[in-house]
Structure formats: C-alpha cells, structure tokens
Amino acid sequence: MASDAVLTFTDDAWDADVLQSDVPVLVDFWAEWCQPCKMLGPTIDELAADYDGKAKIGKMNIDDHKQIASSLGVASIPTVMIFKGGQMVKNMVGINAKQAYAEAIDAAM
C-alpha cells in the first residue's frame, strides 16, 4: 500500500529526519480537522510510492507538533515544503497538482 511509504515527522526528530537528510524531503503540514489536507492525502501517498528510496515524503500534524510549523511560519494548511541539504527550497500553500510537487522534488534532486 502506498501510504506505508509516507513518513510521520515530529518536532523531536526534525533535525535528524529532515534537516540532516541526504535526499530531498517533502513535508506536508496538515491537521485532522482540515478538509483540504484530507483531499491532498492521496496525492502525498502517490508521491511517497513514486519517490520511495529517492526522496523522503511525509506529513507533520501541526496540532501535535506546533514548534517546527511555528518556527517555519506555517500560517495556512495544507502547506507543503521541500527541503534539500537542511534548507527549505520550495514552499507551496494550498492544494496543487501532483505534477507540481513532483517537479519541485525533481528540482531538489
């Protein structure tokens, strides 16, 4: 199942999982109550399957892990950020086409 490849990011493991990653990382900032976030879920699942072994694809629940979202200025969700070499290289707010996320990941490779 595709969703098995979707990681869960936390405040505690942020540095190790995202900033110190040797591959690009896509982080979907979301919340359980956010309907557009739920609509984006299948796209994130597909990207995780498509990029398994090439990039990290995961989600961070902003209700459970407020510290990182706040420090990055996440004001609306869904917000998807792409990180490479410890730096945010792309910030996409709202729902975008799968192709837009794929192009952003490819550009970070």
pLDDT digits (tens, 9 = 90+) for 75-84: 999 999 999 9
CB-based contact 86:44 (threshold 8 Å): no
Positions marked catalytic: 34, 37
Of all helices (H) and strands (E), which one includes residue 69? helix 66-71
Say if residue 56 is exposed, middle or buried (CB neighbours under 10 Å; 0-12, 13-18, 19+). buried
pLDDT tens digits for 28-73? 999 999 999 999 999 999 999 999 999 999 999 999 999 999 999 9
pLDDT of residue 2: 40
What lies within 8 Å, CB to CB, of 24 at 6+ separation is: 55, 56, 82, 83, 84, 89, 105, 108, 109
pLDDT tens digits for 87-96? 999 999 999 9
Hey, where are the domains in the chain? 2-108
Largest CA distance in the chain: 33
CATH superfamily ID and name for 2-108 = Glutaredoxin (3.40.30.10)
pLDDT of residue 5: 86
Q: Say how far apart CA 56 and CA 26 lie, in whole Å.
A: 6
pLDDT of residue 1: 36
Distances 35 to 29, 38, 56, 105 between C-alpha atoms, Å: 13, 5, 24, 24
